[in-house]
Copies of this chain bind each other. A is one copy, B any other.
Amino acid sequence: VPTSRRERPAKPALPRDGIVAAAVAVLRAEGLDKVTMRRLAQELDTGAASLYVYVANTDELHAAVLDELLGGVAAPREGSWDERVDTLLGSYVGVLFAHPGLARSALSARPSGEHYLALIETLLGLLAEGGVPAARAAWGVDLLLQYATATAAEHATRARNPTAGDDWDALTRAIRSADPAARPHLHAVAGAIQSGTPQARTTWGIAALLRGIAGTPVPEERP
């Protein structure tokens, strides 16, 4: 009796796509914590071992999920080229913020799907529009995406775990109470070092990155 197994809506033809689709569904419904090999196997009426034919490990699975979510990130149409970079990366970070923990995986296993490629393409286009030499832009996109991903990874953990804010506070306390004689520079900027909203800091960070990328020759350029 082949139809005796539990019925599910639309069992997909391609296992890899089916696994990723199930993973996205579980992510949306219950969060990244539940996007595990075992849980997904359960969802697909199989054993966890079966998934390893299509997915190398958990990080790779998460990368595929992220790529899927990136489908919701559209290229901005308004503003100057650098404003659009800021908006685009803001959207990217937004996706990561909405699903805490995914950013952490993304640092280890980068997505390599269509949506991630589209993001890189858009970024390269904006940098070209801004007159950034292609060789610098090529290395620059890496820097920009790494920055956006790392920012999300930091912020996401703090947002999810209520006690993780303590680490932040611990650093703040440590900086504030630093010995002015032993750490003069730290003491001098104690107020400034953690000032500003996350948004303001991220916008500044992207601006600094763009300036640096545009103005720093890559080794190949030098004679």
Q: Is A151 an interface residue (CB 8 A)?
A: yes
Q: Is A25 an interface residue (CB 8 A)?
A: no
Complex CA–CA separation, A161 to B209 (angstroms): 30
**Nearest-CB distance from A143 to chain B (Å)?**
6
Q: Is A170 an interface residue (CB 8 A)?
A: yes
Within 8 A of B (CB), among A203-218: 204-205, 207-213, 215-216, 218
Q: Is A56 an interface residue (CB 8 A)?
A: yes
Stretch from A15-23, A71-79, A86-94, A110-118 forming part of the interface with B = A110-118
Q: Which of B120, B150, B175, B208 is A213 in contact with, Cβ under 8 Å?
A: B208
Complex CA–CA separation, A206 to B134 (angstroms): 19
Complex CA–CA separation, A125 to B184 (angstroms): 9
Q: Nearest chain-B residue to A152 (Cβ)?
A: B107
26 A-B residue pairings within 8 Å (CB atoms)? A56-B163, A56-B166, A59-B157, A59-B167, A108-B158, A109-B157, A110-B167, A110-B168, A110-B171, A111-B171, A112-B170, A112-B171, A117-B175, A117-B178, A120-B186, A121-B182, A121-B186, A124-B185, A125-B185, A128-B185, A134-B189, A142-B193, A208-B215, A210-B212, A211-B215, A212-B213
Complex CA–CA separation, A188 to B128 (angstroms): 11
Q: Is A81 an interface residue (CB 8 A)?
A: no
**Nearest-CB distance from A88 to chain B (Å)?**
14
Known interface pairs A104-B104, A209-B208, A209-B209; A196-B112 also in contact (CB < 8 Å): no
Within 8 A of B (CB), among A14-68: 56-57, 59-60, 63
Q: Nearest chain-B residue to A60 (Cβ)?
A: B167
Contacts of A167 in B (CB 8 A): 59-60, 63, 108-110, 112
